[in-house]
Amino acid sequence: MKSEKGQSMVEFALVIPILILLLFAILDFGRVFHAYLAIDHAGREAARAASIGQDDSTIRSTAVLKASSISLAETQVAISPGGVKSSGSQVTITITYPISFLTPVISNITGPITLTNSTVMRVE
């Protein structure tokens, strides 16, 4: 019972990797959730722009502007149908955004994932 001074240090050394992994997992979840909310908001705003008769370049730039916190590119925004939209028809905005995990263990297992959001609105 004389040499129990190093026991807590050994226990801490065994537990700290699990705590760090948990911290990074929480951080990754927050990043993915933020990206999902950003593309959801950008999709709704772009669909709203499409529903009032905006052209495709304006719709894409609206989506990119509304998702500026995740650096969304115009090539990640798909508009169906493209071109001139007739009143009463539906327009679908689909945004795809790839995201990779920061946690080394999780990123090695899953690799990058792709978040996808589709929003449908009727053209007025």
Mean pLDDT, residues 104-110: 82
Mean pLDDT of all residues belonging to the chain: 90
pLDDT attached to residue 2: 62
At residue 78 the predicted structure's pLDDT band, cuts being 50, 70 and 90, is very high
- Percent of the chain exceeding pLDDT 90 equals 66
Spatial separation of the C-alpha atoms in residues 59 and 25, rounded to whole Å = 35
Burial 15-44 (b: 16+ CB within 10 A, else e): eeeeeeeeebeeebeeeeeebbebbebbbb
Q: Where are the domains of the chain?
A: 7-122
pLDDT attached to residue 1: 55
Q: What is the Cα Rg of the chain in Å?
A: 22
At residue 13 the predicted structure's pLDDT band, cuts being 50, 70 and 90, is very high
Q: What is the per-residue DSSP string for 85-106?
A: --TT-EEEEEEEEEE--SSHHH
Mean pLDDT, residues 17-29: 91
